[in-house]
Amino acid sequence: MKNSVYPFVLFCLAVMLASSCKKDNNVSTPSEYTPIVTTLAVNNIGTTTAISGGIVLSDSGSAVTTRGVCWSTSPNPTITGSKTIDGSGLGSFTSNLTGLTANITYHIRAYATSAKGTGYGNDISFATHDVVNLNIETVNIPAGTFTMGSPLTEHDRYYNEAQHQVTLSAFKMSKYEITNAQFAAFLNSEGIGSDGIYAAGAYPTQVLIYSSSGSYDFGLNYSAGQWVPAVSCDNRPVVYVTWYGAAAFAAFAGGSLPTEAQWEYACRAGTTTPFNTGDCLSNTQANYDWGHPYNTCTNSNTNYPNATQAVGSYAPNAFGLYDMHGNVWEWCNDWYGDYATDPQTNPTGPVQGHYRVVRGCSWDLVAMLCRSAFRNYGNPMGNSNAFGFRIVFPQ
């Protein structure tokens, strides 16, 4: 009896061992079969964004189908939580982290997945920046209907100012042009470097701002790892900013750039004259080239400042908005194009184009270009010592 049982027991043990060697999908693949990946340093850290990435060093014999980074507030995050997907295969990759929370410490790891499983890189921790108070003062702009453009009788009018009726919903607008100090706070909070590129933003390949320099150094400069206003220029309007920079700041602040219609309506503040100051714009009312007043108007001082001035240096219009004439051109959201001549409600301009609208004129140009109806445009990638902006919010 003993001899007949023993072979049977050996047989059973052999079957059990063979069974245990079969692949069990519920058991993790040994790490030597998964891809080998390392995590890159975290940079461009902002309040809600950051940039990292990784390098897939080896696929361990099975092609990498997905790679990226994963993160959480606990060490050694996995792909079951928040993650990016940044291509496939071997080599290095960049990952843009979005949707983070301000002033929180996160852990991040690069990962690479193949048919054999997921391999993880080293754990790196970082802290997002605290929320920045931009101190943007706004005024309420009431809903209303106005005639946009200029009448045929307006002196020095341009062909592209065709009059048409526009109805707008109420909105809020920044009382002043956005300043150097406010824009620097945005750039520094988002970790934007000397190249002015916001890789984690909506326009990751576009330059937001260029450094100020030379005779017209009244903008921002990059120094010791921070953007700082030129000496005594904290409260002057930011300049050398591209349309992408203006739009990125507006989004960061929770608003948007004004439409061209919103801008003209806000500038006019109920007036129908060439300026919101009437038929003339004097040297005491705006910062422009005082040596060239409008039409038959005259100025008591023709020696104009030849530079931007601190926002709010002149009296506001009837809506309480400052510097709607002169100081700096202000980027609008619209693509530049011909007006529609039929009545419009909350128009947003052409759906595409090559140039973005700028309005309001600047410190270095003549009064006729400061008219409420005057339209200008710029390459959205361009910059100038006379281009700035203000922003709007829903009411």
Q: 8 by DSSP, 3-state: which?
A: helix
Asked if residue 207 belongs to a domain, the reply is yes
105 and 215 fall within a common domain: no
* Whether residues 139 and 118 fall in one domain: no
For residues 47 and 83, membership in a common domain is answered with yes
Average pLDDT over residues 277-297: 98
Of 127, 150, 181, the domain-final residue: 127
Domain count, the chain: 2
Is 317's pLDDT higher than 90?
Answer: yes
Listed in sequence order, the residues at least 6 apart from 9 whose beta carbon sits closer than 8 Å to its beta carbon are none
Q: What CATH number does the domain containing 50 carry?
A: 2.60.40.10
What percentage of the chain carries pLDDT values higher than 70?
92
Within a domain: 302: yes
Flag whether pLDDT at 180 surpasses 70: yes
Read out DSSP for 64-113?
EEEEEEEEESSSS--TTSEE-----SSEEEEEEE-S--TT-EEEEEEEEE
What pLDDT score does 214 carry?
A: 84
What pLDDT does 31 receive? 60
Confidence band of 30 (pLDDT split at 50, 70, 90): low
Question: What separation in angstroms does the CA of 7 have from each of 1, 3, 13, 21, 157?
Answer: 11, 7, 10, 22, 108
Owning domain of residue 360 = 133-395
Residue 390 binned pLDDT confidence (cut-offs 50, 70, 90):
very high
Tell me, what CATH number does 388's domain have? Answer: 3.90.1580.10
Taking only the tens place, the pLDDT of each residue in 141-177 is 999 999 999 999 999 999 999 999 999 999 999 999 9
| Domain co-membership, 157 together with 112 | no
Establish if 85 belongs to a structural domain. Answer: yes
CA-based torsion, 336, 338, 339, 342: positive or negative? negative
Domain co-membership, 115 together with 201: no
- Answer whether residue 189 is part of any domain: yes
338 in a domain, yes or no?
A: yes
Q: Is 196 inside any structural domain?
A: yes
Q: Which of 95, 127, 159 is at the close of a domain? A: 127
pLDDT of 220 strictly over 50: yes
Residue 19 lies in a domain: no
pLDDT of 223 reads 94
Mean pLDDT of the chain: 91
Please check whether residues 90 and 162 belong to one and the same domain. Answer: no
Q: Give the model confidence (pLDDT) of 344-365 as tens digits.
A: 999 999 999 999 999 999 999 9
| pTM (2 d.p.) | 0.75
Average pLDDT on 253-276 reads 97
Q: Look up residue 345 and give its DSSP letter.
A: E
Both 157 and 113 in one domain: the answer is no
Q: Tell me: do 253 and 296 sit in the same domain.
A: yes
Where is the domain boundary, 127, 149, 174? 127
